[in-house]
Structure 1
Amino acid sequence: MQIPVKANRVFEDIIKQIETAIASGKFKPGDKLPPERELQKTLDTSRSTLREALRVLEQKGLIEIRTGVKGGAFINATGVERMGDYLALLIRQKKVSLKHLFEFRLAIEGFVTGLAVTHATTKDHRILLSYLNEMKGLLKEGSRRWKEFYAIESLLHQFMPRMCQNPILGWILETVHSSMWSYYEMLPTDEFVLKEVYRDWHDIVDAVIEGDAVKAAGVANSHVVTYNRYLEDASRKQRYAENRKSNKPRLPNQTKTGIRYMKMKAKGDQWL
């Protein structure tokens, strides 16, 4: 893979050239840079200057220098991808509170849905309708396939920012919604709730196709509020159940003394 050669050969210029190659997609995360000798020749520079440039790129987190037979300079994930991975981990481990998620979603999802209306194409409309039809089909079986139903809903949430044609919105919201399954599993799974979710999305998709950005944004915000209410209720019930379990009096054979007695009894020893 060739990197354009420029006249100046100071290591700052080499850094810029390699950064440009990464940013342009010539090198992707996980790719290995060409061997040192090949880079020296391509960039027309000395070994010491090249190594200094690679050292700076490693400090920036753009590459990773590995040693050994299969070693070399490897492209790291971009800052956005690393941020997305970290955010996803926080959400999956529930290190981000429901309140934080609610505030973020209420601030941005209505805006994104409204913006999607102005950018949506006929192809986008067809995709939205196909998702909606899948949800409708799953509803015919009541609540039995609730996991598949919520999985489709998650895909709808992720598709909205894609219609906006704004990669920043896409990265952030796709990361949030693709990582929220631990919260989706807390949602009520009865048919009444699933039908309510479906009605929200039916109204959102209708508004998008009609080109009504205000209506689409309003329904999206209302949906976020309803979703948060269900999650908060489920979270309270979960905490209540956990507290009852932790405060439940233990049976005699669950205490340390009881366990010791049961062990001695099993061995036939005398209790003193």
Structure 2
Amino acid sequence: MTVEPDPQPARETLLRPVRLGNAFEDTVGRLLETIRLGVLAPGESLPPERELATRLGVSRDTVREAIKSLSEAGYLVSRRGRYGGTFLADDLPAPSGDGVRFSRADIDDTLRLREVLEVGAARMAAGRTLTAAERETLWSRLRDVRGAALEDYRRLDSRLHLAIAEAAGVPSLVPLVAENRMRLNELLDHIPLLARNIVHSDEQHDAIVMAILAGDADGAAETMTAHVWGSASLLHGFLDS
């Protein structure tokens, strides 16, 4: 007789406290990790929201938003009634991108290079005395991405990040950021746009630009680091093979 391993230890290990700087993204990533690694079986229920919030160290609102986003993406289903709750879908979404697969190493290589380039760019931009034209470009790019339609979001997001690289005042940095951004967008194009993530990204964009314009190099670098690793949580959750 074969004894199936108890999934509880693995579940408890994976559903561990998240980084509060990216609470929503990390919560989505943790839940996807339990799904993709088979800790949750098709049709199996998630722990109650209150329990998830306690395990992950986040608010119930954050858990609710993460569950809503994964339900919209087809990973979870909610059922009402006596035996209701949130359950793993019987049929999970097929991988997008015509079967393209990305490994953790692929994702980490892109994201670690992004951290080196873009955190450095934000810090250097904040350390400079920007011209009026450079300041206006940052404001303009920030306004554009703030009001972007979903279909334009990633393009305008890229333009803002390139404007930050330009504001660093190192011309040879810009093509490096652009090349890395192409790799990043290739990854991002294989995951769904989540409304709550866009709201959080916009808040971080505001904080990064404000820190740069205020000459707060440490604040700009710190917020850019959190921004980069918020994307990492989602990319690893959806794409790790």
TM-score of the pair, normalised by structure 2: 0.53
2:211 match: 207
1:137 aligns with 2:141: no
Q: Which runs of 5+ in 2 are unaligned?
A: 1-99
- Preserved CA contact (<8 Å) 1:106 1:224: yes
1:101 match: 110
* Matched positions, count: 140
1:226 aligns with 2:226: no
Deviation string, structure 1 residues 75-96 (Cα, Å, up to 9, x no partner): xxxxxxxxxxxxxxxxx99798
2:195 to 176, 191, 197: 191
Identity of aligned residues (%): 18
Aligned-residue Cα RMSD (Å) equals: 2.3
Deviation string, structure 1 residues 68-124 (Cα, Å, up to 9, x no partner): xxxxxxxxxxxxxxxxxxxxxxxx997981011122122332121110122332211
Higher helix share: 1
Change (3 A) 1:169 1:216: same
Counterpart CA distance in 1 for 2:158 and 2:101 is 18
- Preserved CA contact (<8 Å) 1:188 1:230: no
Q: Which amino acid aligns with 1:191?
A: A
- Preserved CA contact (<8 Å) 2:145 2:160: no
Change (3 A) 1:124 1:203: same
1:115 aligns with 2:121: no
Counterpart CA distance in 1 for 2:107 and 2:127 is 30
Counterpart CA distance in 2 for 1:171 and 1:116 is 16
What displacement does 1:179 show?
4.3
The structure with the largest alpha-carbon Rg is: 1
SS at structure 1 position matched to 2:172: helix
Counterpart CA distance in 2 for 1:123 and 1:166 is 16
Counterpart CA distance in 2 for 1:106 and 1:134 is 23
- Preserved CA contact (<8 Å) 1:158 1:178: no
Q: Which amino acid aligns with 1:99?
A: D
What displacement does 1:190 show?
2.3
Change (3 A) 1:179 1:100: closer
TM-score of the pair, normalised by structure 1: 0.47
